[in-house]
Amino acid sequence: MNYLVGAFKLPCNIFISFADGRIRKQVPLKKENGKTVMVALFQSQESIVGEVVIEPVHRKKVEHNGVKIVLLGQIELYFDRGNFYDFTSLVRELDIPGELYERKTYPFEFSTVEMLYESYNGVNVRLRYILKVTISRDYVSNIVEYQEFVVHNYTPPPSINNSIKMEVGIEDCLHIEFEYSKSKYHLKDVIIGKIYFLLVRIKLKNMELEIRRRESTGSGPNTHVETETFAKFELMDGASVRGESIPIRLFLSPYELTPTYQNINNKFSVKYYLNLVLVDEEDRRYFKQQEITMYRLLETS
Amino acid sequence: MIADGVEDEEKWLAAGIAGLQQNAFYMHRALDSNNLRDALKYSAQMLSELRTSRLSPHKYYELYMRAFDELRKLEMFFKEETRRGCSIVDLYELVQHAGNILPRLYLLCTVGSVYIKSKEAPAKDVLKDLVEMCRGIQHPVRGLFLRSYLAQVSRDKLPDIGSEYEGDADTVVDAVEFVLQNFTEMNKLWVRMQHQGPTREKEKREKERSELRDLVGKNLHVLSQIEGIDLDMYKETVLPRVLEQVVNCKDEIAQYYLMDCIIQVFPDEYHLQTLDVLLGAFPQLQPTVDIKTVLSRLMERLSNYAASSADVLPEFLQVEAFSKLNNAIGKVIEVQPDMPILGVITLYSSLLTFTLHVHPDRLDYADQVLGACVKKLSGKEKLEDKKATKQIVALLSAPLDKYNDIVTALKLSNYPRVMEYLDSETNKVMATVIIQSIMKNKTRISTADRVEALFELIKGLIKDLDDAFHDEVDEDDFKEEQNSVARLIQLLHSDDPEEMFKIICTVRKHILGGGPKRLPFTVPPLVFSSLKLVRQLQGQEENPFGEEESTTPKKIFQVLNQTVETLSNIPAPELALQLFLQCAEAANDCDLEPVAYEFFTQAYILYEEEISDSRAQVTAIHLIIGTLQRMHVFGVENRDTLTHKATGYSAKLLKKPDQCRAVYACSHLFWVDDQDNVKDGERVLLCLKRALRIANAAQQMSNAARGSAGSVTLFVEILNKYLYFFEKGNPQITVAAIQSLIELITTEMHSDSSTLDPAADAFFASTLRYMEFQKQKGGAIGEKYEPIKV
């Protein structure tokens, strides 16, 4: 048994660490197995600097055909499992072919890396960044170690941020006018607005505001659209009447939202909608959906 | 079905309480372990129980109160939490993450209360935010309770003047603004209840609404307690805003309740100074609102205010409270054409009470009110509505009660015009009230004008107002009424004969139309009252100024003659006769022979033509004789005529005993003690002898008819007459005559045929005893009697 274990056991341990690992911000990342780990957070144009430590086990000699580190940005579509689309792939050779006898440290640096896309973990798609260290070997499988990290890209507040204002209704039944103060929100923003009732002829029971995320993957006939409701926020209890206006104040911070992604490498897009739902006494739902743009504002804390 | 509903409700309430308590338990645990997250979670769950729609307001209140107690604990916790370093701003945001709105807002209000206390933000901003956010609850019951929670927690945190939350400038405005807004929203919700749900449950809904009304009204109460609201502010902001809401909500229940609330919670002084505005709202209310009650209460309050201190009276004058109220009432009536007449009268009645209290000196005001009332009543038939009539009686009684003096009320020219609208029954009641008031207060009504007015008022008692129903009147009641009129007539008095005469004429004018049933009651007091005047004049002697039109007894007698004559026409001949005789006697005292003679003539005519009943005749003849006996004005000729007639009548009476008695009574006509010229002994004797003859005849008739002689009473009576004249010194009455009469009587008594009559025996015996006594007395009388042998 021991032999067997020893045979499959990797001959060396690989540790990947970032140079500023101690001070760099860590964010939670949900792994495939459901566990959440804390990983380093980067943004585009940052230099990713660190070192790789390779430590042979039991001081055994490890022969290799070279050691390299790759920075991978990949998109994984779940319905197309196993196929990763690498939109970024940067390689740094760490060592020429040779033999490793003892613990060896390789510094690496990817300077000002272009990482346009943010890490994303959706229903049907995942976008992630990985540092992959490979020790190539002949005849036996390569020794590989991964280190994931997260990329968030910050956007300055938009210069134009119009309110969303609209009058909708069902003829002679229900006419409302609603207004959201902005069309673009950052992730910790507050949605402020109001609903003004112009005509109410149906017996309303309540009204709620939903935040929905529409994740669309693939393209053409293979497009998969998945819509998730993130927040169900009750705005009104009971039936309003003509002339009433109901305030909206919805804090976005409790919800795990991401920015809007228009078109990520032609593979997927993520959009957010505010869905105003009016429910009548027979549980019929009347709704109006409005797209909002989410962006990530650099937190100044 | 309904019972089931109640049972179900109990069940739901129990379930709600159970759920609430369970979550409260977890919340307490979280509080104890300072676990904010759990505290928020469980408190939100706990508050979710309040989201139920199944409970009636009454039951919902029970649930709410429990939640309220729990929220107090939560509030304490929040306070401690901030002391431990948790930012109140964060907390304020944190509670807003709750997905369900009702728990969210309860929590928000709770944190908001802590927020204000922390003074990290101006109270006004927090309050504004809270009251604005609460709009999310549009369900009436839940909204009302939530907002009442808000009102409750904010009550002691308003940025009022002198409060620790007072801000920099115009801070009271913010406090007021907050309360007003909360009030407005609550009222809207409350009104909305009315229009939700099926029509058939209208009654139930209205009941539920009335259970909730105090939640709404409480806001007004809070407003009234804000120190910073001075008169100006009340006038400029508070009242107009509140009224705007009241008027615009167009809801009957709300308008009624809130108007009343306004009147009750704010100080009288404010009401007085803002009467314009306040009253301006009334005509704008829904036509079905019971304005009369509300307005009445306002006036009642103002009256009490006026009564509280004399210092405030100038204020009333200054703001012209009366004319404003009057106008307002006019307008209200105008815009509510369907208002029942009862409402109208109630309004005027209250206004009258008000003006009587506040402006007791301004009779013209009171008259104006009555005038307006008349105007409104005019064009209508007599009132059918019992309540309305009652109200009119109250209206009319008010001035009487206030002034305790009908004289004042008589100055109100519209007073009688109002009375015209009462049905005859009520009219009588009112008239009785008036008379009673006069009697109670012993009011002196001493001018003809007033008497005229007074009788105009009580004409319901004086004459039949409508021909329709007077047969239903209870005899006793009628007598009672007429007696009171009679008493009233007696009370009318003026020291000035001129005036008194005028009064008499006025009264006469009125009562003559009273019809046969009333005249017997009303004429006698008038006659006596006139006679009283006559006697007064007689005392004064002929008027010293010699003025032409001055009242003379003669004139009065003329009037009297005509008055009494009416009685004979009804016919009430006996009464007329008596009154004629009374008049004659008065004329006698005035030395007016022709007048007296005339009266006697009238009496005789009546006797001859109208009085046919023998019993009445007997009574009448005795009256005539009695009166005539006392007359001293007559000359020999007149006297002879009259006495002759009287004697003649006496002899013609039907029954012998009556004849006999009348005839011996006539004897007095010829012998008047204090009149020397009337001492005709011969004719006295003649009368007595005639009486004896008749007595004899009576005896014989009795014998013939019944086989036994009648009683000797008549003889004894005649004997007494003999004795009388004997004593008076009539020379024609001799000892012999008396002697023989005594013997006659004795014989009669012992005769076989005589019937036993102990009374007659006793009478005779005592007569004899008297004679014995006189004899023993000695002196002149004794000597006179001496010869008579008993």
Place of tokens 């009234």: B224
pLDDT of residue B581: 85
Angstrom distances, CA of residue B15 to CA of B6, B27, B49, B360: 14, 18, 9, 63
- Residue A8: pLDDT above 70? no
pLDDT of residue B1: 41
Question: What number of other Cβ atoms are within 10 A of residue A32's Cβ?
Answer: 7
Angstrom distances, CA of residue B395 to CA of A267, B161, B341, B353, B401: 91, 45, 13, 8, 10
- Residue A127 and residue A119: Cα distance in Å, rounded? 5
Residues 6+ apart with CB under 8 A from B379: none
> Are the beta carbons of A234 and B135 separated by less than 8 Å?
no
pLDDT of residue B601: 86
Q: Are residues A19 and A124 in the same domain?
A: yes
pTM for the model stands at 0.74
Residue A2 in any domain: the answer is no
Chain A residues lying within 8 Å of B41, measured CB to CB: none
> Are the beta carbons of B100 and A245 separated by less than 8 Å?
no
CB pairs under 8 A between A and B: 55
Domain termination site, one of A101, A121, A151: A151
Residues 6+ apart with CB under 8 A from B562: none
- Residue A298: pLDDT above 90? no
- Residue B242 and residue B616: Cα distance in Å, rounded? 80
Number of domains in chain A: 2
DSSP secondary structure of B502-523: HHHHHHHHHHHTT-TTTHHHHH
Residue A54 in any domain: the answer is yes
Give me the helix-helix angle, B519-540 and B497-512, nearest 10°: 160
Domain termination site, one of A127, A151, A175: A151
Closest-CA residue of B relative to A230 is B99
Domain of A130, CATH number, reads: 2.60.40.640
> Are the beta carbons of B139 and A239 separated by less than 8 Å?
yes
Q: Spell out which chain B residues touch chain A, with contact meaning CB-CB distance below 8 angstroms.
A: 51, 93, 96-97, 99-102, 104, 132-133, 135-140, 142-143, 192, 196
Angstrom distances, CA of residue A31 to CA of A34, A74, A82, A84, B180: 5, 15, 16, 17, 55
Q: How confident is the model at residue A117 (pLDDT cuts 50, 70, 90)?
A: very high
Question: pLDDT, tens digit, for every residue of B183-206?
Answer: 999 999 999 888 877 888 888 888
- Selected for mutation to probe chain A from B41, B137, B138 (highest A CB count within 10 Å) is B138
Q: Are residues A208 and A100 in the same domain?
A: no
Burial class (CB in 10 A: 0-12, 13-18, 19+), B704: exposed
Burial class (CB in 10 A: 0-12, 13-18, 19+), B348: buried
Residue A72 in any domain: the answer is yes
- Selected for mutation to probe chain A from B101, B142, B193 (highest A CB count within 10 Å) is B101
Q: Are residues A181 and A139 in the same domain?
A: no
The one-letter amino acid code at B667 reads S
Q: Are residues A143 and A214 in the same domain?
A: no
Question: Three-state SS string across chain A, please?
Answer: CHHHHHHHCCCEEEEEEECCCCCCCEEEEECCCCCEEEEEEECCCCCEEEEEEEEEHHHCCEEECCEEEEEEEEEEEHHHCCCEEEEEEEEEEEECCEEECCCEEEEEEECCCCCCCCCEECCCEEEEEEEEEEECCCCCCCEEEEEEEEECCCCCCCCCCCCEEEEEEECCCEEEEEEECCCEEECCCEEEEEEEEEEECCCEEEEEEEEEEEEEECCHHHCEEEEEEEEEEEEEECCCCCCCEEEEEEECCCCCCCCCEEEECCCEEEEEEEEEEEEECCCCEEEEEEEEEEECCCCCC
Query: Which tokens in the block code for residue B99?
Result: 């997905």
Question: pLDDT, tens digit, for every residue of A227-268?
Answer: 999 889 999 999 888 889 999 999 999 998 999 999 898 889
Q: Which domain holds residue A53?
A: 12-151
DSSP secondary structure of B430-456: HHHHHHHHHHHHT----SHHHHHHHHH
Place of tokens 């033999």: A99
Higher pLDDT residue, B740 or A2? B740
Among A259, A91, A247, A7, smallest CA distance to B134 is for A247
Q: Are residues A19 and A143 in the same domain?
A: yes
Query: Which tokens in the block code for residue A147?
Result: 């280190």
Closest-CA residue of A relative to B103 is A234
Q: How far is B155 from chain A (nearest CA, A)?
A: 24
Q: How confident is the model at residue A11 (pLDDT cuts 50, 70, 90)?
A: confident
Residue A117 in any domain: the answer is yes
Nearest CB to B97: which of A204, A234, A251?
A: A251
Q: Are residues A62 and A142 in the same domain?
A: yes
pLDDT of residue A214: 95
Q: How far is B384 from chain A (nearest CA, A)?
A: 45
CA atoms within 13 A on the CB side of B151: 27
Q: Are residues A38 and A69 in the same domain?
A: yes
Residue A52 in any domain: the answer is yes
Query: Which tokens in the block code for residue A241?
Result: 């009447």
- Residue B286 and residue B521: Cα distance in Å, rounded? 53
- Helix (H, G, I), strand (E, B), or coil: what is residue B710? coil
- Residue B30 and residue B37: Cα distance in Å, rounded? 8
Q: Are residues A20 and A45 in the same domain?
A: yes
- Residue A201 and residue A178: Cα distance in Å, rounded? 17
Residue A210 in contact with partner chain B when CB distance is under 8 A: no
Q: Are residues A36 and A107 in the same domain?
A: yes
Q: How far is B101 from chain A (nearest CA, A)?
A: 5
Question: What number of other Cβ atoms are within 10 A of residue B90's Cβ?
Answer: 12
- Residue A70: pLDDT above 50? yes
Nearest CB to B135: which of A204, A231, A246?
A: A246
Q: Are residues A139 and A188 in the same domain?
A: no
CB B20 within 8 A of CB B70: yes
Q: How far is A75 from chain B (nearest CA, A)?
A: 33
DSSP secondary structure of B42-100: HHHHHHHGGG-SSS-HHHHHHHHHHHHHHHHHHHHHHHHHHHTT--HHHHHHHGGG-SS
Query: Whole-number mean pLDDT of chain A?
Result: 89
Residue A3 in any domain: the answer is no
Q: Are residues A126 and A240 in the same domain?
A: no
List alpha helices for B234-312, DSSP H: 239-249, 252-265, 268-273, 275-281, 291-308
> Are the beta carbons of B137 and A237 separated by less than 8 Å?
yes
Residue A4 in any domain: the answer is no
**pLDDT beneath 50, residues of chain B:** 1-2, 468, 544-548
> Are the beta carbons of B99 and A234 separated by less than 8 Å?
yes
- Helix (H, G, I), strand (E, B), or coil: what is residue B366? helix
Backbone conformation region of residue B34, classed left if phi is above 0, alpha if psi is from -120 to 50, else beta: left
Nearest CB to A238: which of B100, B132, B139?
A: B139
Q: How far is B164 from chain A (nearest CA, A)?
A: 30
- Residue A160: pLDDT above 80? yes
> Are the beta carbons of B99 and A249 separated by less than 8 Å?
no
Closest-CA residue of A relative to B193 is A239
Chain B residues lying within 8 Å of A245, measured CB to CB: 135
Domain termination site, one of A126, A151, A176: A151
> Are the beta carbons of B140 and A238 separated by less than 8 Å?
yes
> Are the beta carbons of A234 and B96 separated by less than 8 Å?
no
Segment (H or E) for B675: none
Chain B residues lying within 8 Å of A197, measured CB to CB: none
> Are the beta carbons of A239 and B101 separated by less than 8 Å?
no
- Residue B751 and residue B740: Cα distance in Å, rounded? 16
Give me the helix-helix angle, B656-666 and B614-630, nearest 10°: 10
Residue A82 in any domain: the answer is yes
Among A208, A266, A200, smallest CA distance to A236 is for A208
CB A28 within 8 A of CB A38: yes
The widest CA-to-CA distance across chain B, in whole angstroms, is 142
CA atoms within 13 A on the CB side of A139: 2
pLDDT of residue B76: 93
Chain A residues lying within 8 Å of B100, measured CB to CB: 234
Cis peptide before B571, with omega less than 30 degrees from 0? yes
Q: Are residues A100 and A176 in the same domain?
A: no
Query: Which tokens in the block code for residue B459?
Result: 């004409």
Q: How far is B93 from chain A (nearest CA, A)?
A: 8
Q: Percentage of chain A with pLDDT > 70?
A: 96
